[in-house]
């Protein structure tokens, strides 16, 4: 995942030295080998009206989940297995399917979603577990209640041998039944083949750095995506929302309307503060360069993509990287947080909560320090923090007024619910 990127490696290895010096560790913290830092031994929810419990344990590198017939199917990144969890949290011993995956760094079995009795998987296919990548393939299966049958390849996306990160992999079903997938830039900016128009450069589109419909297929829903581990559909409006992982600053939450341009690699985060492409440049030069790149890429898109893709600012950004991942909308009955958006992160194991305005296209904050739509390093996180101590969160899903949270590092799915 993103935590294995070099810059996150530096943070996760060095930060514990400063946060928890050699005089001893806090009693409530344990060292998490996956995220490379100390985290709380047990998760907590700050609103005492809610309770958190371990729902299902014993998973191996769980990434995403889908709820079908009130059971949960969860994908396991490294071994290519989909596991079946019953309504009471029982993890059945046998996988419902086991596919061969290339699993190095951010490759693997990455995404799962369902529509009626159909289940979709997104995985980095290989001839054997741990082997070289063939492609990031998306298959459609029939769910018979115990196994996944009759695979149909609905979309094949690239997985370049030299690109071990930014595979994306999340799937989501739109309100109209369309299945969408996200794929990252495949670390394009570091490869000799160069970046493409989808990262706001001049080259033919190549199915990287995009959110796209895969069943049925169609034109790109969004371009300029660096990497995303989270897609969600607002059940009220039908609009798509996504998390996006920044480079060294400014992770994002975006409202992803059709023909959205997220801006990569011109910049990440608010354009006035973005430092992409401004190294050793005066600030105004970097901003001007970003604006020119965005204009040219949109103009070029008129001819290459046949439709213009428009950039808009993130709905919210974190100045320091947190690796935001799964997100979902709470049901209206979820206490005072009905219809709010909840987001997890992989770096710190936090769950964030966001209240939306009446049009459900912006967030609403009481803290004036958040009115700039940025959690700066000096800002208080109190208004938006819901819980912590979940390890590396990879997915959040709601069902029957319960929030389910997948922890990659802990191998656990947690459940959060209102107390009686």
pLDDT of residue 8: 37
pLDDT of residue 39: 58
pLDDT of residue 21: 30
Query: Is residue 391 scored above 60 in pLDDT?
Result: yes
Mean residue pLDDT across the chain: 85
pLDDT of residue 162: 86
Question: How confident is the model over 129-168, as pLDDT tens digits?
Answer: 999 999 999 999 999 999 999 999 999 999 988 889 999 9
- What average pLDDT does this structure show over 53-76? 98
Question: How confident is the model over 178-231, as pLDDT tens digits?
Answer: 999 999 998 875 444 444 555 655 556 789 999 999 999 999 999 999 999 999
User: Domains in the chain and their CATH numbers?
Assistant: 53-418 (2.120.10.30)
Question: How confident is the model over 283-307, as pLDDT tens digits?
Answer: 444 455 555 555 554 544 434 444 5
pLDDT of residue 265: 79
User: CA 289, CA 248: separation in Å to the nearest integer?
Assistant: 19
List, in order, residues 6 or more apart from 356 with CB less than 8 Å away: 339, 340, 341, 362, 363, 364
CB-based contact 173:113 (threshold 8 Å): yes
pLDDT of residue 274: 65
Question: Of 122-136, 281-295, 349-363, which range is least confident?
Answer: 281-295
pLDDT of residue 263: 87
Question: Of 172-176, 264-268, 283-287, which range is least confident?
Answer: 283-287
pLDDT of residue 18: 29
List, in order, residues 6 or more apart from 163 with CB less than 8 Å away: 186, 187, 188, 191
CB-based contact 45:419 (threshold 8 Å): no
**If you search the block for the tokens 């935590």, which residue do you land on?**
3
- What average pLDDT does this structure show over 53-79? 97
List, in order, residues 6 or more apart from 396 with CB less than 8 Å away: 326, 327, 328, 342, 343, 344, 351, 403, 404, 405, 406
User: CA 386, CA 352: separation in Å to the nearest integer?
Assistant: 5
DSSP state of 90: -
DSSP 96-136: SEE--B--STT-SEEEEEEETTEEEEEEEE-SSTTS---EE
Order of strands, sheet of 316-318, starting from the edge strand that comes earlier in the sequence? 230-233, 240-244, 251-256, 316-318, 374-375
pLDDT of residue 300: 45
User: CA 12, CA 388: separation in Å to the nearest integer?
Assistant: 17
């Amino acid at each position: 995942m993103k935590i294995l990127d070099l810059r996150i490696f530096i943070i996760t290895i060095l930060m514990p030295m400063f946060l928890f010096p050699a005089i001893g560790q806090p009693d409530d913290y344990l060292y998490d080998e996956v995220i490379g830092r100390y985290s709380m031994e047990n998760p907590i929810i700050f609103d005492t009206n809610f309770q958190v419990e371990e729902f299902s344990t014993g998973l191996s590198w769980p990434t995403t989940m889908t709820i079908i017939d009130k059971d949960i199917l969860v994908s396991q990144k490294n071994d290519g297995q989909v596991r079946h969890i019953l309504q009471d949290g029982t993890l059945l011993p046998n996988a419902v399917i086991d596919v061969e995956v290339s699993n190095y760094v951010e490759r693997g079995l990455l995404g799962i979603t369902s529509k009626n009795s159909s289940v979709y998987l997104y995985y980095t296919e290989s001839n054997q577990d741990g082997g070289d990548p063939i492609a990031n393939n998306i298959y459609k299966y029939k769910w018979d209640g115990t196994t996944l049958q009759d695979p149909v390849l609905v979309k094949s996306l690239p997985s370049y041998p030299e690109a071990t990160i930014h595979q994306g992999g999340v799937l989501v079903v739109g309100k109209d039944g369309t299945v969408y997938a996200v794929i990252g830039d495949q670390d394009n900016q570091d490869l000799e083949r160069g970046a493409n128009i989808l990262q706001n450069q001049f080259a033919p589109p190549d199915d990287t750095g995009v959110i796209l419909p895969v069943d049925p297929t169609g034109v790109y829903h969004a371009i300029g995506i660096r990497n995303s581990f989270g897609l969600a559909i607002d059940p009220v409006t039908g609009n798509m929302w996504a998390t996006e992982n920044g480079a060294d600053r400014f992770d994002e939450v975006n409202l992803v309307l059709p023909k959205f341009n997220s801006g990569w690699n011109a910049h990440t985060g608010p354009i006035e503060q973005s430092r992409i492409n401004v190294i050793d440049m005066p600030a105004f030069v970097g901003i001007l360069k970003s604006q020119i790149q965005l204009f040219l890429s949109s103009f070029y898109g008129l001819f290459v993509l046949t439709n213009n893709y428009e950039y808009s600012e993130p709905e919210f950004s974190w100045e320091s990287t947190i690796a935001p991942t799964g997100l979902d909308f709470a049901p209206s009955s979820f206490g005072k947080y009905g219809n709010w958006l909840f987001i997890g992160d992989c770096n710190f194991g936090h769950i964030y909560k966001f209240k939306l305005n009446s049009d459900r296209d912006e967030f609403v904050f009481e803290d004036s320090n958040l009115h700039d739509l940025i959690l700066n390093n000096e800002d208080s996180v109190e208004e938006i923090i819901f819980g912590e101590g979940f390890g590396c969160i990879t997915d959040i899903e709601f069902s029957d007024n319960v929030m389910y949270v997948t922890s990659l590092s802990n191998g656990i799915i947690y459940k959060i619910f209102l107390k009686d």
